[in-house]
Structure 1
Amino acid sequence: MTDSMFGNDNDQWVCPNDRQLALRAKLHTGWSIHTFQTERQRKAQTLEKTELDVIMSVIHRSEQLELIEQHRIGCLVERLENMRRSAMGNGLSQCLLCGEELGLLGSPSVLCLDCCMKVCTKCGIETTGTQKRVQWLCKICSEQREINLLLNGM
Structure 2
Amino acid sequence: MTDEIRKNIIDATTRLLARREHSEVELVQKLIQKGFDPASVQPVLIEFQQADIQSDKRFAESRVRHAANKGIGPNRVRAELSQHQIDDEFIHVAFSETDIDWFELAKAVHTKKYASQKPDTFKDKQKQRQFLQYRGFTFEQIQYAMENP
Task: State the TM bucket, normalised to the shorter chain.
Answer: under 0.3
Which structure: larger Rg?
A: 1
More helix by share: 2
More strand by share: 1
Higher relative contact order (CA 8 A, sep 6+): 2
